[in-house]
Chains A and B, each alone.
Chain A
Amino acid sequence: MALLEVENLGIGFPTGGRIVEVVRGVSFKIEAGESVGLVGESGSGKSQTALAIMRLLREPGRITRGAVRFDGTDLTQADEATMRRLRGGAVSIVFQDALSGLNPVFPVGVQLMDVIAAHRDVTREQARERAVAMLNLVGIRNAEERLGHFPHQFSGGMRQRVLIAMAVACEPKLLIADEPTTALDVTVQAQIVALLRDLRERLGLSLLFITHNLDLMGEICSRAVVLYGGLMMEDSPVETLFTAPSHPYSRALLDCVPRLEDEPGMLRPIEGAAFTLATAEAGCPFAPRCVLADARCGREHPPETGQHPHRIACWWSGS
């Protein structure tokens, strides 16, 4: 049994008397110890999917269909007490913006110890020891002294490390990282990715890494789920995705990254405007920007073909 099974997940927001789905039936799974990338642009539904797994969707958003099975329990049906026990315990999440994930008026040590005390039966002293150990683990020097510092006394990269320390303090089985490096400089990005990779090996975590940066995802994940317009386009081992992407969208997404290896000025943007729900049609959401699209693509959404670990939703995938 997989550690996490997302099955036909739908997420909707009530808009003008009806419910508009931003995630429209997405399925994927994560095995224990596996590291999976959830890749897509703004509006693809990747962050909403992460929030739905944690049952942290902002009102009035809600899960409209499907199941999220974690370790056999369907989280969409779990009560709030169960969810509170799980969050920060067996499942943790790290957000993009570390500054809003920390309370500015408390020292980070207090916040870190709170997480530990919420999930473990520990004395204050034990919580403190564990907090120091966690800061050490994520590479923060002078951990003892840093416990007393406030979030604003840390740099962006260091704040992200603190959040990661909080997320892994109670030895989660699954860590969800939602664009954890997007707000950071390239040099710091590389450090945070190295840290996540290291933690994954040392703690045996499963990881769901959410990003729009395919290269970064390739540094840490073994499998990638590519989303567009709230639907899965391709679910593929990373090596296969990088060497032979099957879906035209995956291919376009890989091609459009400006790279040092290319001739200067050689840019291959995805033409057309990014997907918006306002223009969503019944067909494949990528059809308006796709070089292969024909009338059928615009009319009907393609069925999923292939078997785990490589599934594709494209009318052209067989050709």
Chain B
Amino acid sequence: MSALLELDGVSKTYEMESRIIPRLLGRRRPLLAVNNVSLTATRGEVLGLVGESGCGKSTLARIILRLDAPSDGRILFDGHDIAPMSRAALKPFRRRIQMVFQDANSSLNPRKSVARLIGEALAEIAVPEADRRERGAELLKLVGLDGAMLDRYPHELSGGQRQRMAIARALAMGPELLVADEPVSSLDVSLQAQILRLLMDLRSRLGLTMIFISHDLALVHHLCSSVAVMCAGSIVEQGETRRILHDPAHEYTRKLLGSVVRRRYSPIAPVS
């Protein structure tokens, strides 16, 4: 299988705001948020990106989407280096890389109906206005929602429905790569498994490549074929999920695994 996305030595440095005198003297305080990251996402795979708050995983997601430019390194998407591209040059790539955020509540405009929220994405790919409703209903169906939801507003949806809707919108442009940043961490346990199952299903039906960002190793275990462990801006370990979770080489990975609360009961076969 070929690589859809390849990061090659990607770094991101932020200039910290420093006091006036050191600034005049030319002393700067750089913060290395992402440090020389190289990663490959093969077509059709789900790559997990794990690490704690502040490790740089969300910054890396922003860079992959080119919402931010890297300070250094190359981002090869389908063979094209999108790192140095201008806004205009990026345009054709935008629809091919889409994102699902953790908090659907703050990533959906509360004043727009579901039909409009999805319609805007469809307009971007030149779907005629007359067809948008029908296409929107199809997208909702794809994520397990009723077409009647088109006339609802985000606040009228439950947390699980909102996250499904955010996924539908991300899929509206027919992306090849979906970056999901903690897509289930603000949901109840009973809904987490539903959304995970939906993502697995979508991956196989649409042949999507996914980058799944999480701090929960159990979720990564279920969804991802390979995983990269990030700590303080750097990837400390990457490889096949099974290998990393069973035989972690890096101390930090072991620490993460050690903090997972283990099951204390045996599941019971469902009553039928």
**Residues of A that sit less than 8 Å from B by CB:** 41-42, 156, 185-190, 212-216, 218-219, 241-243, 245, 248, 251-262, 264-271, 273-274, 276, 291-292
Contact = CB atoms under 8 A, between A and B. Distances in A.
A273 B260 CA distance: 28
Interface in B206-263: 215-219, 221-223, 241-242, 245, 255-257, 259-263
A187 B52 CA distance: 8
Interface in B162-195: 188-194
A190 B255 CA distance: 11
Nearest to B225: A264
A264 B188 contact: no
B260 A186 contact: yes
Interface string B133-149: 00000000000000000
Contacts of B192: 256, 258, 269
Given A253-B189, A258-B219, A269-B194, A245 B268 contact: yes
B12 to A, nearest CB: 21
Given A41-B188, A265-B200, A190 B219 contact: no
A268 B264 contact: no
Interface stretch (B58-66, B114-122, B153-161): B153-161
Interface of B: 52-53, 158-161, 188-194, 196-197, 200, 215-219, 221-223, 241-242, 245, 255-257, 259-268, 270-272
B145 to A, nearest CB: 10
Given A259-B218, A268-B270, A187 B193 contact: no
A172 B199 CA distance: 45
B196 A267 contact: yes
B193 A268 contact: yes
Contact of B259 (A189, A258, A264, A265): A189
Contacts of A215: 261-264
A269 B190 contact: yes
Given A269-B193, A291-B271, A274 B158 contact: yes
Contacts of A190: 259, 261
B191 A242 contact: no
B233 to A, nearest CB: 16
A136 B93 CA distance: 53
Nearest to A211: B189
A185 B271 contact: no
B39 to A, nearest CB: 21
Contacts of A214: 189
17 contacts: A156-B53, A185-B52, A186-B52, A186-B215, A187-B255, A219-B261, A258-B196, A259-B263, A260-B218, A261-B262, A264-B222, A267-B200, A268-B267, A270-B190, A273-B160, A273-B161, A292-B271
B8 to A, nearest CB: 29
Contacts of A245: 265, 268
Contacts of B256: 186-187
B15 to A, nearest CB: 20
Nearest to B191: A274
Going nearest first, the 3 A-B pairs with the smallest beta carbon separation are A242-B265, A269-B193, A269-B194
Nearest to A156: B53
Contacts of B161: 273
A87 B262 CA distance: 35
A26 B261 CA distance: 29
A245 B204 CA distance: 35
Contacts of A256: 189-190, 192-193
A101 B267 CA distance: 38
Given A185-B52, A264-B222, A291-B271, A252 B190 contact: yes
A258 B188 CA distance: 12
Given A187-B256, A187-B259, A291-B272, A254 B265 contact: yes
A251 B269 CA distance: 10
B188 A251 contact: no
B53 A185 contact: yes
Contacts of A260: 217-218, 221, 245, 257, 260, 262
Contacts of B188: 41-42, 212, 274
Nearest to B51: A185
Contacts of A185: 52-53, 215
Given A259-B263, A262-B222, 16 more contacts: A41-B188, A186-B260, A242-B265, A253-B190, A255-B267, A256-B190, A257-B193, A258-B192, A258-B196, A260-B218, A260-B262, A265-B200, A265-B222, A267-B193, A269-B191, A291-B270
